[in-house]
Amino acid sequence: MLYTEKVVSGYNKVMIVNHIDIQVDKGEMVSIIGRNGVGKSTLMKTLIGLNKVEKGKIYLGNRDITKTKAYTRAQIGIGYVPQGHGVFPLLTVEENLIMGRNINSRKAADNFEIVYSYFPRLKERKKQKAGTMSGGEQAMLSIGRVLIGAPEIILLDEPSEGVQPNVVSQMGEILIKISKELKITILMVEQHMGLIQQISDRGYVMDKGSIVASISKEQIHNSEEIRRYLTI
Ligand SMILES: Nc1ncnc2c1ncn2[C@@H]1O[C@H](COP(=O)(O)OP(=O)(O)OP(=O)(O)O)[C@@H](O)[C@H]1O
Ligand SMILES: [Mg+2]
């Protein structure tokens, strides 16, 4: 579904992401874990096209998207939920969803009800300004906003950030349902052990801009090992 070959990227000649090879197959839920500042968000921004690839390649299916604009990547099926959720605070819930739909208006015309079926709270709150919602509600909205564009793969950057612990596990359940029922692939950056263990089929560990380990489902459930990767 999505794979990279020795991708290098960064900011203003300072390279942050260093020869990254990752692969996510159709229907998988894969996590990228690692401490603060190791380059996880930079990698995600590179995958969606907000950061330029300096070296290496990115493929979506058979298509080389290394030089494809972010807007086009969204249209051809990559949904991106940035760290901090990135909702438009002054727009209502419904208007935020419309912004997501406009990326891919043809396919997404009827997707409001699908989004509301996974997130009934968003329907109840559709006239509320997004900035006045709780962290958990904003997280749900940010996921709804990409879901409405009918993506094939969703890139999630720390969806648990600013979300109450009990809501994080609800969010995990919804992500699992979305992935299974709508056959959407998920690549998630996370540091929240509970969410990592709840949804991941497998994972990668990132450190200092590189992938330093690939972790199996069994290893994901070894809390001591995961804690070590998150805190070393
Ligand atoms: N816009 C930017 N311009 C220059 N440097 C940046 C920019 N964004 C991030 N960096 C630097 O890139 C490095 C990696 O940051 P990044 O946000 O990718 O890490 P992260 O693993 O996502 O961290 P966190 O877990 O805190 O979200 C850091 O040293 C950071 O200071
Ligand atoms: Mg980050």
pLDDT tens-digit series, residues 96-149: 999 998 877 666 667 899 999 999 999 999 999 999 999 999 999 999 999 999
Q: Is the pLDDT of residue 225 over 80?
A: yes
Residue of minimum CA distance from atom 17 in ligand 1: 41
Q: How far is the CA of 50 from the centre of ligand 2 (A)?
A: 14
Measured at the CA of 131, the angle between CA 114 and CA 123, to 5 degrees, comes to: 25
Mutate to test the pocket of ligand 1, among 14, 17, 31, 40 (most ligand atoms within 8 A of CB): 40
Task: Compute the distance between CA of residue 142 and CA of residue 93 in angstroms, rounded to an integer.
Answer: 10
Ligand nearest to the CA of 206: 1
Cα Rg of the chain (Å, integer): 17
Containing domain of residue 85, as a range?
2-231
pLDDT at 107: 65
Q: How far is the CA of 189 from the centre of ligand 1 (A)?
A: 13
The answer to whether the CB of 17 is under 6 A from ligand 1 is no
Q: How many domains does the chain have?
A: 1
**Three-class secondary structure of residue 14 per DSSP:** strand
pLDDT tens-digit series, residues 42-67: 999 999 999 999 999 999 999 999 99
Q: Which of the two residues, 103 and 33, has the higher pLDDT score?
A: 33
Q: CB–CB of 203/215 below 8 Å?
A: yes
Ligand nearest to the CA of 39: 1
Residue of minimum CA distance from atom 24 in ligand 1: 36
pLDDT at 43: 98
- Judged by average pLDDT, the poorest of 2-6, 20-24, 110-114 is 110-114
One DSSP character per residue, 187-215 reads EEEE--HHHHHHH-SEEEEEETTEEEEEE
Q: Which of the two residues, 107 and 172, has the higher pLDDT score?
A: 172
The answer to whether the CB of 51 is under 6 A from ligand 1 is no
What value does the mean pLDDT take over residues 218-228?
95
Task: Compute the distance between CA of residue 174 and CA of residue 152 in angstroms, rounded to an integer.
Answer: 16
Which residue matches tokens 């929240």?
Answer: 192
pLDDT at 232: 60
The answer to whether the CB of 11 is under 6 A from ligand 1 is yes
pLDDT at 103: 79
The answer to whether the CB of 41 is under 6 A from ligand 1 is yes
pLDDT at 81: 97
Q: How far is the CA of 113 from the centre of ligand 1 (A)?
A: 36
Residue of minimum CA distance from atom 29 in ligand 1: 37
Residues 6+ apart with CB under 8 A from 87: 96, 130, 131, 133, 138, 141, 142, 145
What value does the mean pLDDT take over residues 152-156?
97
Distance of CA 24 to the CA centre of its chain: 12
Q: CB–CB of 207/228 below 8 Å?
A: no
Q: Residue 5 — pLDDT band, cuts 50, 70, 90?
A: very high
Q: Is the pLDDT of residue 13 over 90?
A: no
**Whole-prediction pTM:** 0.95
Q: What percent of the chain has pLDDT over 70?
A: 97
Q: How far is CA 218 from CA 76, 134, 231, in A?
A: 33, 34, 19
Ligand nearest to the CA of 37: 1
Which residue matches tokens 């015309």?
Answer: 109
CATH code of the domain in which 144 resides: 3.40.50.300
**Three-class secondary structure of residue 154 per DSSP:** strand
